[in-house]
Each structure stands twice: as C-alpha cells, then as structure tokens.
Amino acid sequence: MNLYQHFKSVTIIDQHAELEDQLHRDKTLASNLNPQTMIVRFWTAQGVILGKMDTLLPEYEKGLKVFQSSGHKTLVRKAGGLAVVCDSGILNLTIMFSKESPLIGGLNESYDFGIQLMRHLMHDLHMDIQEGEVSNSYCPGKYDLSVKGKKIAGMAQYRSKDTVMLMVTLCVSGNQQKRCALIKNFYDVANPLKDPKYPVIDNQSMETISAITHRAYTVANIKENMVQILHKSGIPVNNQ
C-alpha cells in the first residue's frame, strides 16, 4: 500500500487512557493534526461504547442496567454506529487524517481508505478478509470486515471541521460469543418493540482473530505486527 500517495509521515500513538477519556484524547489530537500526517492511535479500554442511536431506544435507561449489573462502564460516542464492547481482547484504532486529502477526504473515500489500510495492516495474518455488512452482528455496517462470514471488525467515522476520524474495533481474543450475548441482552431490554433499525444479534455471527487463525494472538501481538508493517511501508513513522 502506497501511503506516500496521501501522507508524508505516520504518527503512532499507544498510550493508556480510561474509557471516559478516549473521546477527549481523539478530539485533542484532531485539533493539532498536521495535514500531511496520518495518526494511528491504538487503545484498549473496559466497558461498552454506545452510539447516539442507542440513546433513542424507548427503554434505553433500562437497557443500561444490563451493563451496570455486569460491571461495565458505558460511553456514548459521536461517531456513527451502535453499541460495541471494549475489553483487554479488543483492539481499538483511531485513524486520523485531514479532510483536505484530495483522494481520501470524502465520506465514502475515507471509508474505502480505512478498509484498504486495515487489510494492509493485517496482511501477515493470512486471512481472506471480506468487506460488507454482517447484519446479525452487533454494530452492523456496510464496512464490516469478516472472515468466512464471521465479523472480526467494524468501522465508524466521525468528521470534525478539518479532520476525518475512522474508529475501528478489532476482535483479537477472548470470548466473542459472550460479548455478543451482552449486547443482545441490552437490545432485548431496550428495544422491546423490535425496531428494525437495531440489530437482532446472533451470538455466532462474530469471531476473534485468534479463533479464526487458531493462534493465541494478543492485542500486543497484533499492535506490534501492525507497527512493523507501517515501518516496512517506507514512509517515516514516528512513535509516541
């Protein structure tokens, strides 16, 4: 993948932040973004991130008790999408670049770039990654990434005045069926009228990279591999 076509450098940020601080961290980085630089921020957290649409559910407050009773913090994000789980087996990436990038600054072009970049970053995992909505997963969307019909990642986008932020949730390890069941329980309570705008989740619709590849990958392994691939791309890479 020719990143030089779009940027002069890449900055990698891998710093701990609590769930409630994640959106503030992204906003701060976006406000200081160099238009010729792409930022890739890796992060993990514990809790559930909800979409704005989730807050419109008729029994939203009751649904939140599902997470409270299981000890999960919650956060509502500005980007599109619906509820997703965050824990030590989930790698989140925030990919930031200028809206003025001539080839990838548009809404659809940004998503297409995000798909290409994620395929590039996971090249060494030797998975046949497909793009397209997995409708019975949690937070289904047109830009889901799946292997053999099992969703492994989802992508949402937030656009500020000058910056594109692609937010990727990548399932690396752990019990993905349990994560699906948690979100399914939320919608069972919060969406009693079965509004079709919200997913009917099949707990078998998603899987982790570790389960698909039959290798005991960790979030740290995947991050290290992605960083190595970025360095091999030939573009200057700065680590923070």
Using left for φ > 0, alpha for ψ between -120 and 50, and beta otherwise, residue 37 falls in beta
Q: Is the dihedral of CA 153, 161, 53, 21 positive or negative?
A: positive
Q: What is the pLDDT of residue 22?
A: 86
Q: What is the pLDDT of residue 117?
A: 97
Q: What is the pLDDT of residue 128?
A: 97
Q: Are 159 and 99 spatial neighbours (Cβ–Cβ below 8 Å)? A: yes
Q: What is the pLDDT of residue 16?
A: 82
Q: What is the pLDDT of residue 78?
A: 76
CATH number of domain containing 194: 3.30.930.10
Q: What is the pLDDT along the chain (240 residues), one digit of tens a residue?
A: 888 889 999 999 998 888 888 888 998 999 889 999 999 999 999 999 999 999 999 999 999 999 999 999 999 987 778 999 999 999 999 999 999 998 999 999 999 999 999 999 999 999 999 999 999 999 999 999 999 999 999 999 999 889 999 999 999 999 999 999 999 999 999 999 999 999 999 999 999 999 999 999 999 999 999 999 999 988 999 998
Q: How far apart are CA 153 and CA 170, in angstroms?
A: 4
Q: What is the pLDDT of residue 86?
A: 96
86, 139, 171, 180: the catalytic one is: 139
CA proximity to 187, closest of 117, 140, 121: 140
Q: What is the pLDDT of residue 9?
A: 96
| Segments forming the whole domain that contains residue 44 | 3-239
Residue 81's SS3 state is: coil
Sheet with 37-43, side-by-side order of all strands: 130-131, 145-147, 150-159, 163-171, 90-98, 37-43, 9-14, 237-239
Total of domains in the chain: 1
Q: pTM for the full model?
A: 0.95
Q: How many CB atoms lie within 10 A of CB 114?
A: 23
Q: What is the pLDDT of residue 169?
A: 97
**Residue 139 designated active-site:** yes
Q: What is the pLDDT of residue 87?
A: 96
